[in-house]
Amino acid sequence: MEEEKVYWKPGNLIYPVPAVMVTVADGEGKSNILTIAWTGTVCTNPPMAYISVRPERYSYGMLKKTGEFVINLTTEALVHATDYCGVTSGRDRDKWKDTGLTPGRASVVNVPVIMESPVHIECRVTEVKELGSHHMFLAEVVAIDVDGKQIDEKGKFHLEQTKPIVYSHGEYYGLNELLGTFGYSIRKKK
């Protein structure tokens, strides 16, 4: 049989991507967690990241108000909570209570971090781009907090030990197998 390409209308199919739990706060004691897949690094120096959020999300108002958020990386142990925080709204539920996740103090921003998450990326919004369905919050990374348990005696941080997850076309996966390391394709064999 002849191989065939199927042409679809324009859409989004860049997968896998991270599914992170973003925390936000209103500055008056209320905070919330929402799951975000439209996120990424946009600049190394200064360190910058983005999240894209629909204005109808409950979290949107808090984000707009304080201009601060925390990207909490997710793990296999957190996959259930990750999904839950992406299908329920802080309008109706206290997601901290429902998931049993523990709020902790961030080092710079006034937004709680999720203690069970191994990496907290503290962000301050520099620009909001109203793109369409989603508004992109471009942000400067103002602090990073990592779980000390994953740092070895040489100071190397073992993210792989936290069992990160990815989100791909509606499904969550763990990372199975190490296939190579940065630059291995041109590295001389010893």
Q: Which stretch binds ligand FMN (CB under 6 A): 57-65, 67-75, 110-118, 137-145?
A: 57-65
Which residues between 134 and 163 bind ligand FMN (CB under 6 A)?
A: 134
**For ligand FMN, the closer CB: 36 or 121:** 36
Structure-block tokens of residue 153: 């005696």
Structure-block tokens of residue 85: 């925080």
18, with CB counted inside 10 A (0-12, 13-18, 19+), is middle
Q: Are 18 and 73 in contact (CB under 8 A)?
A: yes
Give the span between the Cα atoms of 25 and 96, in whole angstroms.
Answer: 12
**For ligand FMN, the closer CB: 15 or 187:** 15
**For ligand FMN, the closer CB: 21 or 106:** 21
The 86-105 site mask, x for binding ligand FMN (CB under 6 A), equals: xxxxxx--------------
Give the largest CA-CA distance in the chain: 64
Applying CB under 6 A, does 83 fall inside the site for ligand FMN? Answer: yes
Give the span between the Cα atoms of 71 and 66, in whole angstroms.
Answer: 15
Nearest C-alpha neighbor of 40 from the set 178, 183, 137, 164: 137
What is the size of the binding site for ligand FMN (CB under 6 A)? Answer: 22
Applying CB under 6 A, does 35 fall inside the site for ligand FMN? Answer: yes
Which residues between 15 and 34 bind ligand FMN (CB under 6 A)?
A: 19, 32, 34
**For ligand FMN, the closer CB: 35 or 162:** 35
Give the span between the Cα atoms of 172 and 75, in whole angstroms.
Answer: 10
Give the span between the Cα atoms of 99 and 35, in whole angstroms.
Answer: 13
**For ligand FMN, the closer CB: 89 or 150:** 89
Task: Return the number of other C-beta atoms located less than 10 Å from residue 111's C-beta.
Answer: 26
**For ligand FMN, the closer CB: 19 or 109:** 19
In the complex, minimum distance from the CB of residue 75 to ligand FMN, in angstroms, rounded to a whole number = 14
For binding to ligand FMN (CB under 6 A), which residues are involved? 19, 32, 34-38, 52-54, 57-59, 83, 86-91, 134, 167
